[in-house]
Amino acid sequence: MEEIQEYLDEFYSKNKLEEAYRYLLEELKKAIESQRDDLILGILNELIGYYRVTAQFKQGQVMIEQALKIIESCGLYDSLHQATTYLNIATFYRVQGKYQESMTFYNQTEHIYQKLLHEQDERYISFYNNKSLLFQEMGEYQKALESELKALSLIQNLDDCKIEEAITYTNLSQIYFSIQQKDEGQKCLQEALFLFERFGKNDPHYFAALSSLAQSYYLEKRYQEAVDLYEDILIKIESVYGKNRDYDTVLKNKQIVEKEMKTIKGMELCRLYYEEYGKRMIDEKFSDIKKYMAIGLCGFGSDCLGYDDDVSRDHDYGPGFCIWLPKKIYTQKGQVLQKAYQQLPQEFMGFQRNISLHGNHRIGVFCIDDFFLQILGKWPQSLEDWLFIDENALLACTNGCIFDDYYGEVTKIREYLHYYPEDIRIKKIARAIAKMAQSGQYNYLRCLKRNDQVAASLALNEFIDQSLSVTYLLNYQYKPYYKWSHYGLKDCHCLKDMQTDIQELLQCNHKEVMIEKICQKVILELNRQHLTSHYDDFLDNHTMNVMSHIQSDIIKKKHVMEG
């Protein structure tokens, strides 16, 4: 049997799997002719292993039945021959997904080992490793960890077991990743890869270690690196074993990563792009001005709101970010930094920046003051400034995300602009409910009575727009650009039914009934926020009550429709 295993090792080291298979069949025929039951059992075990890795489970089951018959006929119960065969069968069933059958054979193997072997015997290593894999597949990670650590403690006391040690570290890394102990997983994985690359680069277990590395890339959201590594592993597995169960597992993991890459939100894409390329560029070339920088993404665009989808990715979408500098530093270094920024890769995670005619100057290097003033037109200082400033501009300045702010100025500006002063919020609520009453509760029906369908549609649209406005105001949020204002209601906690109510308003036949329902819900919320003190059905009758809560005389004296 030792001679046979030497030949097999030679075949396997040269990836000659078919030659190894034919050799085993020839040797099995010879063993049967010479009636060598011990040799037959050894060869059957090798064939069980071959059929396992090539996913030929029906043929493997035939070998199992023959091996069990030999154990019975030769009276090999409670022998190491039985234990070796049972361990092999248990692993065969584990790979096939028959977990209960697998556990039965593992337990019987352990029972025999405890009778015949010292507790430090190296044969326990393979047992603990394989049983740990079963626990992992069953989702019992603590038991898997305990079993794997037992294997490691045995291996570390032995010489010339570097491949087994590498396999054990690989298994440990997978367990740690599964229980979200990423640092421990990385340590074990690096140790495994070091051992494999030094002692067993052609060992099939090396693929499992590489798969764990790809998984770690995925957990770190280094998606493209994970996909590239999975593709390399697939080529390696197919060249040795064909498209077996391990191949299918790796392929499935690759597809999971690719699917997540396709559904990744633009803001996360840009953050990862900055982490991958931007940070390195800044640290290597501009460390002297790093302390003046803020890096992030905000402005106009669905990706800055977190609302981007497949449809919205047709323009102004892709990897990129903003770097903001104070005016003096921008004047000195802005052009050089912009040039370096433009030399960063244009493609990342399968996405390329797609800029439209109107999408220029949304990413890149900016002077802090110029960036925000270009959006706002002027800084809001007085309450009157706040009353008339464009809401979309305020949202563009405060949406998105700041990845790093070493200087602090951009964060201060965004905190200052984060929402209206309370007097302005109240004033805008009064205006919104007055317009809701005027367009929906009053003019919509009057237009229908005149049979003026166009005017009725315009009145309904105005009612919907003002219903959206008051919902955002009552939620202390800026209302998005019109195409996202209905979608964005999903993030509103007050009047949380408004999204479905507006949808129903558009679809129902008796729209005047739904208009009244929406108005009643707004009145209830106004009372809840103590902005009105009665429950009159007509929204316009609440405007003065709302206005009375304004503290500023200047704003309080404004016409209700102003702002």
- Of 237, 263, 289, the position where a domain reaches its end is 263
In a domain, 149, yes or no: no
Looking at the structure, tell me whether residues 382 and 461 fall in a common domain.
Answer: no
DSSP 8-state code for residue 274: I
The residue segments making up the domain with residue 184 are 160-263
Distance CA 512, CA 59 (A): 72
Whether residue 182 lies inside any domain: the answer is yes
Question: CA dist 145 to 91, 254, 362, 366, 449, Å?
Answer: 18, 25, 49, 51, 76
441 and 391: one domain?
Answer: no
State the CATH number of the domain containing residue 198.
1.25.40.10
How confident is the model at residue 147, as a pLDDT?
96
Q: Is residue 132 part of a domain?
A: no
The answer to whether the beta carbons of residues 403 and 272 sit under 8 Å apart is no
Residues 241 and 292 in one domain: no
Residues 21 and 86 in one domain: yes
pLDDT number for residue 358: 46
Instruction: Clarify whether residues 400 and 451 are in a common domain.
Output: no
Is residue 387 situated within a structural domain?
Answer: yes
Domain assignment present for residue 444? The answer is: yes
348 three-class SS: strand
Helix extents (H) in 264-408: 266-273, 279-285, 302-305, 327-342, 368-376, 383-388, 391-398
> Would you give per-residue pLDDT tens digits along the chain (563 residues)?
889 988 888 887 777 888 999 999 999 999 999 999 989 999 999 999 999 988 899 999 999 999 999 999 999 999 999 999 999 999 999 999 999 999 999 999 999 999 999 999 989 999 999 999 999 999 999 999 999 999 999 998 888 888 889 989 998 998 998 898 988 998 999 999 999 988 887 677 888 889 889 988 888 778 888 889 999 999 988 887 788 878 898 999 999 988 887 778 889 889 999 999 999 999 999 999 999 999 999 998 888 988 887 776 655 678 999 999 999 999 999 999 999 999 999 888 878 776 654 445 789 999 999 999 999 999 999 999 999 999 999 999 999 999 999 999 999 999 999 999 999 999 999 999 999 999 999 999 999 999 999 999 999 999 999 999 999 999 999 999 999 999 999 999 999 999 999 999 999 999 999 999 999 999 999 999 999 999 999 999 999 999 999 999 999 999 999 98
Q: Are residues 347 and 408 in the same domain?
A: yes
User: Using CA atoms, how far apart are residues 3 and 185, in angstroms rounded to an integer?
Assistant: 39
Q: Which residues lie closer than 8 Å to 317 by C-beta, 6 or more apart? A: 266, 301, 303, 308, 351, 353, 354
Confidence (pLDDT) at 263: 77
**Whether residues 234 and 107 fall in one domain:** no
The label of the residue with tokens 């290593």 reads: 125
Whether 182 and 231 map to the same domain: the answer is yes
Q: Nearest 5°: CA angle at 100, between 99 and 101?
A: 95
Same-domain status, 409 and 437: no
Q: Within this chain, do residues 210 and 257 fall inside the same structural domain, yes or no?
A: yes
C-alpha distances (whole Å) from 531 to each of 147, 517, 543 are 64, 19, 9
Confirm whether 153 is domain-assigned: no
Integer Cα distance of 463 and 465 in angstroms = 5
- 323 shares its domain with 337: yes
Burial of 122 (0-12, 13-18, 19+ CB in 10 A): middle
User: Is residue 5 situated within a structural domain?
Assistant: yes
Asked if 366 and 535 touch (Cβ cutoff 8 Å), the reply is no
- Residue 90 φ/ψ, nearest 5 degrees: -60, -45
> Looking at 263, 278, 308, which one is the last position of a domain?
263
Shared-domain flag, residues 305 and 380: yes
Q: What is the chain's percent helix, strand, coil content, to nearest 5?
A: 70, 5, 25
Number of structural domains the chain divides into: 4
Q: Is 127 a member of any domain?
A: no
Listed residues 66, 84, 117: the one ending a domain: 117
pTM score of the predicted model? 0.64
pLDDT of residue 314: 55
Axis crossing angle, helix 498-507 with helix 453-474, rounded to the nearest 10: 170
